[in-house]
């Protein structure tokens, strides 16, 4: 091809999309592309996290002989230090672990239960008719630390003290606050002032730290050191537990020593569906990953990626937005904690159900009131992922729910207690009704997928954004033939509400596309080019046929995919 023709070719939209979408494995001779970052490619391990410090902490552990689980714990502990509003030991955790040698997936549900005394009746007596969004009655038992212990005991090669060492050191000595984190911190200033201990800890000099300023948290270093020395019992039975319980009592909460001491996370079997030639895995309820799988099943009834259904086209976006509404309506009606009640998981995952539900999609009109189907009955988060040199993989997500969770900090512990209980409902007929020792419906979902010799761990955080973002990411791979970095970077939509025709879209979708969607009845709120509203993701992929690992990190966060240095 002559130079002039080459330049004209690379200027076309089709060429730009092709250059961004070179599927793994493989390369492109691109001189221009719409993908901003390259994938990280290595024969050794890769850690992808929302902070370079967290990713580097995980990579260091890999270099020192740890495996993917050790690296995930190290990275997660560091994320709790450097992004304290989003996650930490006061929150919950879910993980999918891939054991390469056994070719087997394991799911860990480390989401906590409500205190035994926290019931609908208790809140009604206090004059509450809806679950509060913050405060002591939204605090469920934090599951993250027990999750670390379970992961380390079953898979880890390093002591928990080694996995936590970098986070302890960073909390003690401090770190410069990054751009996204400074923005989140500033937006939470008034919220933090609602709790004296929280304000004292997180508003040094009576204000949030700014980008580049050093923040130190020796109290969190102490808590992490307690866990490093004494394991999960330090948190659930030891001095940390005592300080949590004193705080709960002072605020009028119902949590008892038994609520903490008797808590245990549990190993579960991931659920899955097929989408085109990929098999996609999510955590079972009480997680909401089932909505991503049902959404994919519905989308599979339409020719995404083919003529008139290309990436960013009105037809493709309309189909995905409408599929989201249907899948979320079903999830909201039928999903909660599976213990003690029968949930129609297999029915919701069936291809027959999806084909039936897909018929609700009118190609010309947005549906503003999607009802749940009739079945016979029988936001603030961190995501990280790791692949090690042997191909073991971890897909891990951990969260405080809202920024700084409940807004309550137990004195001298250095972390906020989450508000995950806000996701319960006081509607006694719902599978997600509040009850003592019950886990709320959970928005945080780690993902995993495989095709042939490829294995991929991925996730995109952001409250109710997550399932719909997972489905868009998988479609980018399967339908639009993107690599994992391009699939994370491409513009996304999000609809956080369950009713109405509102939808948020990044402004990188064309004006023509937005106009056509508006003509169908979609009420579009325009976001910036790389908006936190659509979440930030990470992904790692291994090609077992070639023994090569790939990593990707979303520019909607401060993070990076960092490779382990080659073995000397």
- pLDDT tens-digit readout, 434-479: 999 999 999 999 999 999 999 999 999 988 999 999 999 999 999 9
Q: Whole-prediction pTM value?
A: 0.93
Report the pLDDT averaged over residues 1-26: 39
What are the tens digits of pLDDT across the range 381-434?
Answer: 789 999 999 999 999 999 999 999 999 999 999 999 999 999 999 999 999 999
Edge-to-edge, what's the strand order for the sheet holding 104-110? 266-268, 104-110, 92-99, 393-401, 380-387, 46-49, 560-563
Mean pLDDT, residues 102-113: 98
For the chain, list the domains and their CATH numbers.
42-288+335-342+378-492+535-568 (3.60.20.40)
* Confidence band, pLDDT 50/70/90 cuts, at residue 31: low
Which of 333, 401, 457 is CA-nearest to residue 111? 401
Give the pLDDT of residue 114.
Answer: 98
The more confident residue out of 49 and 567 is 49
Question: Per-residue DSSP letters for 50-77?
Answer: SSHHHHHHHHHHHHTT--HHHHHHHHHH
DSSP label at residue 414: -
Q: pLDDT tens for residues 498-547?
A: 999 999 999 999 999 999 999 999 999 999 999 999 999 999 999 999 99
Query: What integer pLDDT is reported at residue 427 of this predicted model?
Result: 94
Residue 435 backbone phi and psi in degrees, to 5 = -160, 150
Question: Which residues does the annotation mark as catalytic?
Answer: 381
Q: Write out the two tokens for 305.
A: 């990626």
Q: Tell me the C-alpha distance between 274 and 280, whole Å.
A: 6
Our CA angle for 23, 36, 177, nearest 5°, is 125
Residue 205 is given by DSSP the state: G
Q: What does the pLDDT read at residue 375?
A: 64
* CA gap 407, 401 in Å, rounded: 11
| Cβ neighbours for 522, distance < 8 A, ≥ 6 positions apart | 318, 321, 366, 501, 503
Token pair for 477: 């791979």
Measured distance CA(289)–CA(269) in Å, rounded: 13
* Structure-block tokens of residue 329: 């309506």
Both tokens of 560, joined, read 């990076």
Contact 49, 557 (CB under 8 A): no
Q: How many CB atoms lie within 10 A of CB 504?
A: 19
Mean pLDDT for all residues in the chain = 93
């Amino acid at each position: 091809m002559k130079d002039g023709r080459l330049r004209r070719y690379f200027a076309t939209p089709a060429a730009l999309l092709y250059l961004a979408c070179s599927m793994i494995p493989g390369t492109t001779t691109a001189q221009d592309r719409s993908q901003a970052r390259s994938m990280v490619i290595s024969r050794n391990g890769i850690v992808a996290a929302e902070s370079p410090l967290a990713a580097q902490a995980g990579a260091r552990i890999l270099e020192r002989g740890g495996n993917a689980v050790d690296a995930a714990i190290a990275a997660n502990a560091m994320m709790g230090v450097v992004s304290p509003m989003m996650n930490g030991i006061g929150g919950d955790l879910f993980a999918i672990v891939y054991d390469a040698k056994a070719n087997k997936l394991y799911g860990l549900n480390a989401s906590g239960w409500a205190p035994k005394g926290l019931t609908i009746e208790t809140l009604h007596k206090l004059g509450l008719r809806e679950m509060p969004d913050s405060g002591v009655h939204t605090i469920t038992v934090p599951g993250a630390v027990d999750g670390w212990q379970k992961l380390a005991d079953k898979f880890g090669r390093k002591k928990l003290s080694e996995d936590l060492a970098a986070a302890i050191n960073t909390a003690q000595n401090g770190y410069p606050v990054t751009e996204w984190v400074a923005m989140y911190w500033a937006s939470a200033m008034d919220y933090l002032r609602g709790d004296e201990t929280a304000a004292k800890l997180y508003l040094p000099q009576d204000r949030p730290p700014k980008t580049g300023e050093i923040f130190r948290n020796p109290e969190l270093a102490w808590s992490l050191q307690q866990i490093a020395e004494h394991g999960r019992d330090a948190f659930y039975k030891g001095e940390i537990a005592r300080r949590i319980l004193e705080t709960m009592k002072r605020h009028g909460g119902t949590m008892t020593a038994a609520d903490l001491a008797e808590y245990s996370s549990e190993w579960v079997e991931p659920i899955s569906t097929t989408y085109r030639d990929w098999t996609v895995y999510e955590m079972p309820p009480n997680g909401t990953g089932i909505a991503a799988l049902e959404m994919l099943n519905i989308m599979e009834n339409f020719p995404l990626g083919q003529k008139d259904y290309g990436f960013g086209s009105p037809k493709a976006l309309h189909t995905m937005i409408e599929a989201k509404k249907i899948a979320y309506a079903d999830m909201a009606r039928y999903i909660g904690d599976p213990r003690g009640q029968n949930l129609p998981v297999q029915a919701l995952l069936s291809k027959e159900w999806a084909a039936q539900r897909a018929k609700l999609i009118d190609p010309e009109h947005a549906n503003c009131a999607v009802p749940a189907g009739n079945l016979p009955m029988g936001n603030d988060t961190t995501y990280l992922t790791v692949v090690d040199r042997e191909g073991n993989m971890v897909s891990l997500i951990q969260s405080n729910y809202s920024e700084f969770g409940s807004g309550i900090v137990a004195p001298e512990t250095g972390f906020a207690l989450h508000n995950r209980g806000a996701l319960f409902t006081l509607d006694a007929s719902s599978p997600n009704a509040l009850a003592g020792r019950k886990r709320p419906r959970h928005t945080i979902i780690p993902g995993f997928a495989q095709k042939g010799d490829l294995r991929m761990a991925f996730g995109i955080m952001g409250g109710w954004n997550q399932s719909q973002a997972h489905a868009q990411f998988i479609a980018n791979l399967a339908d639009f033939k993107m690599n994992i970095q391009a699939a994370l970077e491409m513009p996304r939509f999000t609809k956080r509400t369950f009713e109405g025709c509102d939808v948020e879209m990044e402004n990188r979708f064309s004006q023509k596309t937005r106009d056509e969607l508006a003509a169908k009845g979609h009420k579009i709120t325009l976001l910036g080019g790389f908006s936190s509203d659509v979440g930030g993701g990470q992904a790692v992929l291994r090609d077992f046929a070639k023994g090569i690992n790939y990593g990707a990190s979303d520019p909607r966060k401060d993070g990076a995919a960092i490779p382990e240095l080659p073995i000397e």
